[in-house]
Every structure is written in C-alpha cells, then in structure tokens.
Structure 1
Amino acid sequence: MKKIIYLFTFLAVGILYAQEKIFVPEGQTALDRTTYFEFVQKKRPKTQLFLPDGKELPLKKLDSLNKTIHDQPFTTLFYADTIQNKASLVLKYLSKEEVKLRNDQFRQQQKDFEKNRRKLIGSTLTELTLTDMEGKTYTLEDLKGKAIFLNFWFTQCKPCIEEMPELNKLKEKYTNQNVVFFAVTYNEKKLIQDFLKRTSLELTIIPNDRKTIDQFHINFYPTNILIDPNGKVLFINELLGGNGLKEIKKLLHKMFPD
C-alpha cells in the first residue's frame, strides 16, 4: 500500500523531551511549510535538523518520521537563511491536548475525504477549466467526448513522484485514444520547471490551480480521478487504498479495449 501524504502533515522523531524555549538557528527566519519546501527545492541549501534545545540530529532520521507521526508529541518549525543558503527543521514539543487536537483534526480530514469521495463518484461534472504550462485552456466543453484523468500532486510529495513513471506509461499506452491526462498542482510554474529538470512527468501539467483542487476538495496527495466521456466521475482512489491506478487501468481498458 502506498503512503498518502497529507499536505499539512507535521514531522516528528524519536522520544524527545519538552523544552520551554524553542531553539532558533542563528541568522535564520521562520517560514511556512510551503515556502520552506519551495526554497529547499530551488536552492538545495545545506539543511539541518535540531531538537528543541538546539542539539543537532542526523538529517537521515527524517526517513522514518511519517511511520509514527501521529503518535509523537512534536511538530516541526521551518527556518532558512536565504543569503547564506541554509535551512533548518526544528522540532517543537506539543502538549497532550495539542497532540489530541492535531490527531482529531487529521481524523476529521480523513472522514471528510471519504464523504466527499462517495459524493463525487457517480456525479456528473458541470464545470471544469484547466490552464496548462503554456497558457492553453481546456474547458469541459473542449473535452466533451473524451475520458479525463486527473492526477493531483505537488513537487515535495514523495508518493506522487514515485508513481510518475507508472503515470507516464499509462499516458503513453492511450496516446491515440480519446482520453486526456492532466497533472494538477498548486505549485507555481517556475518551481515546476525546476522540478522537471530532474523528474519526468509526461502528463499535461496544470500549475498554480487551487481552484480545481478546491473544486474536488483535495487534501491528500496523490489523488487520482477518472471521468468518463460524458463527464461522469467513475473513480477516485481511496485514502488508504493506494493510488488506485490498478482500478483505473481496468476502467480504461473497458472504455478502450486493446
């Protein structure tokens, strides 16, 4: 089962001890999560991981964080020095109440995702407007008679990146069929251009598109959606059931048999 990354996931590590005062890396300023990861992707700075008291941990500790995140009483603060090209992750203690609130919010997001998924499947779209990297716009009217595959992703989403080779193969297989493949993200065009220098994504990329993300109520990534030629939503992957590509392949095969 592939890991689904929640956009607002907090990072944590080990069994750490609470500190009243949180360490701030010298010369670095606080950033929000999105700005921090965009800076890291663009500039590739030297990055360090610190405990609340300023003790440094090996950055490789991050590899196992997501496995136990909701059991850990820590969140992560993001810092960077854009002049010296440095970045830091600083772990911050959460009270039991804050941990409970964080986990309750996450569980509610899961419930909302599943409720929205059930509501969307079987519904018929009445509006869809997508604008690609070159400024070309696609509307639901333009796409009438075509099946539509929507992949929701972002540049720092590891599971999103891991499935990209499979997405590329899927698009290649149906190149001459009436199906279009879009990769929708909230990332800006310049960030995506930098990303594509290192990673191949052959789908038609739709940048800076929070409107469509909000339209489908996407909070978890990757999310894959298949819409039939009449605009009916056939499939949205389950939150804990992987990316759903196996089922999507079956549905595409029924529409476009070999």
Structure 2
Amino acid sequence: MKLNNKLKVILFTIAMLPVHFMAQSSSEDVLKGLKKSEKPVRQFDGESIPIYLSGGKRVQGMEMMEAIQSGNYTPEQYEDENGNVKAILFRKLTEKEIADNKEDARKEMAEKKVEIKPAKDFSVTDIHGKSYNLKDLKGKIVVLNFWFTKCKPCLIEIPELNKLVDKYSQKDVVFLGITFDNKKVLQNFLPKKEFKYHIIPNAKSTISKYQISSYPTHIVIDKNSNIVFSSNGLDPDTVTKIDYNIDKLIH
C-alpha cells in the first residue's frame, strides 16, 4: 500500500514556500458539485488549489507541510464537470494504512540495492565544546542531519528525529545536527525548540565537504565509516528509513 508515494513528488517543491494562515472554511462547501478525481496527484502549493483537512479546515504553508510530514494523510483531488481540479482533500488515514505505509517503506529499503561509499572524514565541535572526529567514531553508527534554523522542513522533522535519539540512547549511535548557523543563533533557538542531536555550529567546511545543496539532508554512516543511506528534502518516510538502517546496522 503506497499511499504516501504520491506525496513524494510534491514535497520538495513546497518545502520552502512562505507560510500563510487562512481562516477556517468548510470542505463541504468547496466540494459541493465536485467529484473525486482519478487523475494522479501532482505538484500543489496550497494556494492555487485549496487544500482541506477532513474536518473542513483549509491548510497552507507550514501547516500543510506538517500534515504531509506526519504521514497521517493522503491527498485526494476533486474536479468539476470539465475535469478541472478545484480542491484537494487530505483524507485521514486509518491506523492500519499508516502501519502499512511504514512497513512498505521498510520493505522498500530491504529490497533496495545499497551503494556503499566511504564517508568523508570530518572533525567538528558541538555547541557545548565536545569534539567529534569520524576516525575516532569508528565502531559506532553515525547519523548526520544537515539543517538550519530557518529551514521550515528541517523544523518539522525535529520531533520525530528526537524520538530516534531516545530510542537508541543506550546503543552506540551518535547523532550530529550539522548547520552553518552560528552558536549565538542556536543558543537563541534551542531553548524554544528542543533538538536532541549533538548540534554542530559554524560547520560550513563539513557542509561543503559533503556537497550539501538541499535541506534537510540525512546520512547514516556504518561502524566502518561507510555511508549506507542518504536522503534529502521533506519525505514522510525519512525517519522510518533512518530507523530501519540504524536497526539493521545494530543487528
């Protein structure tokens, strides 16, 4: 059951859109006279075509991205008599559908041929003054998240990433949040939004070394300092895939 696959096409496109907040409206009103479309869901921005949650609330910007990232919804298009798409409804998935999606993501990872390549060495220091060198981390699993404080998709992911840190807190897994933001910016940000990764400020050299051009980017490095997984952009399956790879490396 690949309900979330239709979302992956549009996630990166909407990731950096400005945030807008709209007054609540009824989905019943906007869907009146429309029929469910069989056309594949393509790119949408939440503005040119209105998007509603099942309860009738219109969503855009950050709220729309949060709904997508949650993995709890699937988009359904509604069109007029001429076949023009006029509205999109985010239908709430059942618990079984959500569980099936996560299992599908894990199966996809299990079937995917992994291209292993050596990770580039790095030496960084977190905001508390603790140093991390990839050579010294050999024998541990290293999970990198390239992000920054003004990146809306990056912020949406943080609560789920924190759950990964908690889950593997007793294992040899090191989570590093690498950003070009300086220490002062981070000291103002982190008290308002907890991020349990070890936060690495002023890391432009490491970002350049790994040729990061889009955010967020995630990389999982095995105990032999090889990259076994990487992804970029906003994707409902990202955390599930990171989790799968960590678990596989542990066992």
Shift of 1:253: 1.4
- Match of 2:243, SS? helix
- Match of 1:183, SS? strand
Q: How many residues align?
A: 156
Q: Which residue of 2 aligns with 1:218?
A: 212
Q: Which residue of 1 aligns with 2:192?
A: 198
* Pairing of 1:1-258 with structure 2 (within 5 A): 1=7, 3-4=11-12, 60=21, 67=45, 121-239=115-233, 241=235, 244-257=238-251
Change (3 A) 1:238 1:164: closer
Shift of 1:197: 1.8
Match for 2:153: what amino acid?
P
Shift of 1:242: 5.1
- Give the TM-score normalised by the residue count of structure 2: 0.55
Match for 2:239: what amino acid?
L
Contact 2:218–2:232 (Cα < 8 Å) also in 1:
no
Matches of 2:158 and 2:234, distance apart in 1: 19
Contact 1:181–1:203 (Cα < 8 Å) also in 2:
yes
Matches of 2:198 and 2:191, distance apart in 1: 16
Change (3 A) 1:142 1:129: same
- Give the TM-score normalised by the residue count of structure 1: 0.54
Q: Which residue of 1 aligns with 2:76?
A: none
Match for 2:219: what amino acid?
I
- Match of 1:237, SS? strand
Matches of 2:230 and 2:120, distance apart in 1: 17
Shift of 1:240: 6.9
Matches of 2:232 and 2:13, distance apart in 1: 13
4+ aligned runs moved over 3 Å, structure 1: 1-7, 238-243
How big is each residue's C-alpha offset from its partner over 1:25-49, in whole Å with a ceiling of 9 and x where there is no partner?
A: xxxxxxxxxxxxxxxxxxxxxxxxx
* Percent of paired sites with the same residue: 38
Matches of 1:143 and 1:132, distance apart in 2: 15
How big is each residue's C-alpha offset from its partner over 1:18-70, in whole Å with a ceiling of 9 and x where there is no partner?
A: xxxxxxxxxxxxxxxxxxxxxxxxxxxxxxxxxxxxxxxxx758xxxx9289x
Matches of 2:193 and 2:183, distance apart in 1: 15
CA RMSD across the alignment: 2.9
Contact 2:115–2:228 (Cα < 8 Å) also in 1:
yes
Shift of 1:4: 3.8
- Match of 2:117, SS? coil
Unaligned runs of at least 5 residues, structure 1: 14-58, 70-119
